[in-house]
Amino acid sequence: MGDIDEADAETFIQAYVNIVTGACISLGVEARGFMFGPSIALAIGAKFVPLRKPKKLPGEVISEKYELEYGTDCLEMHLGAVQPRERVLVIDDLVATGGTLSAAIRLLERVGAEVVECACVIGLPEVKGESRLNGKPLYVLVEPRQ
Ligand SMILES: O=P(O)(O)OC[C@H]1O[C@H](OP(=O)(O)OP(=O)(O)O)[C@H](O)[C@@H]1O
Ligand SMILES: Nc1ncnc2[nH]cnc12
């Protein structure tokens, strides 16, 4: 993902918040999900929870490993940051294979949360990431021309 300006960010946030209601948590995936997750949280009156790469969070965490196009990685979340039955939106900049979003969904389901939807600015349809999201809805603002 290249440079984005304020207007691009506002387009994503407004296009998205107009169609989604009822979530209490906006969860952003490190690193680039942090550009949009907090703004969506503010716009819908939700709290923001970061999902971070390993060894960044100071408290006790739960972790979930996953595969990308180019290797493996791991996401961590503070224990207690999300409570059972809380309704969560998962926000990232881009979905390719869906490995990252699927790891976020698994983490949230392990703590008993309800994943309402995943949302990304960019979707790469040729890598079919949506098929790995365990049936969760995926909102994508733009797809590159084929
Ligand atoms: O759908 P996937 O195949 O999982 O790929 C999408 C992920 O890849 C990129 O992050 P990256 O892992 O490069 O980390 P970064 O945001 O920390 O640079 C992107 O920001 C998504 O999080
Ligand atoms: N195929 C891809 N192109 C651009 N950014 C990416 N991030 C993860 N996969 C990517």
* pLDDT tens figures, 22-32: 778 899 999 99
Cβ atoms of 78 and 55 within 8 Å: the answer is no
Supply the pTM of this predicted model. 0.91
Residue, of 8 and 111, whose pLDDT is higher: 111
User: Is residue 31 in contact with ligand 1, taking CB distance under 6 Å?
Assistant: yes
- Is it the case that residue 136 has pLDDT exceeding 90? yes
Examine the residue annotation and report whether 69 is marked as an active-site residue of this protein: yes
Say yes or no to pLDDT of 3 above 90. no
How many whole angstroms from 60 Cα to the centroid of ligand 2?
A: 30
What pLDDT was estimated at residue 9?
Answer: 85
Q: Which residues contact residue 60 at a Cβ distance below 8 angstroms, ignoring those fewer than 6 apart?
A: 78, 79
The pLDDT value given to residue 54:
97
**Is-contact 56 79, C-beta < 8 A?**
no
Does the model's ipTM exceed the 0.90 cut?
Answer: yes
Residue 53 · residue 75 · CB < 8 Å: yes
Question: Residue 104: pLDDT band by 50, 70, 90 thresholds?
Answer: very high
State the Cα–Cα distance between residues 28 and 24, nearest whole angstrom. Answer: 13
- The whole-number average pLDDT for the span 79-92 is 96
Mean of pLDDT values over 68-74: 93
CATH of 6-142, one of 3.30.470.20, 3.40.50.620, 3.40.50.720, 3.40.50.2020: 3.40.50.2020
Confidence band (pLDDT; 50, 70, 90) for 21? low
- Cβ–ligand 2 distance for 81 under 6 Å, the answer no
Please tell me whether residue 104 adopts helix, strand or coil conformation. Answer: helix
Q: Is the dihedral of CA 14, 3, 140, 51 positive or negative?
A: negative
Helices (H), ranges, the chain? 6-17, 37-44, 99-110
Ligand 2 binding pocket includes 15 (Cβ within 6 Å): no
Please tell me the distance between residue 96's alpha carbon and the centre of ligand 2 in angstroms: 6
Domain ranges of the chain: 6-142
Tracing tokens 């006790």 back to the chain, one arrives at 60
Residue bearing the CA closest to ligand 2, atom 8: 96
Cα–Cα dist 121/8, whole Å: 9
Q: CB of 102 closer than 6 A to ligand 1?
A: no
**How many angstroms is it from 1 CA to the middle of ligand 1?**
10
Rounded mean pLDDT, 52-76: 96
Q: 3-class DSSP state for residue 69?
A: coil
Give pLDDT tens digits for 36-56.
999 999 988 899 999 999 999
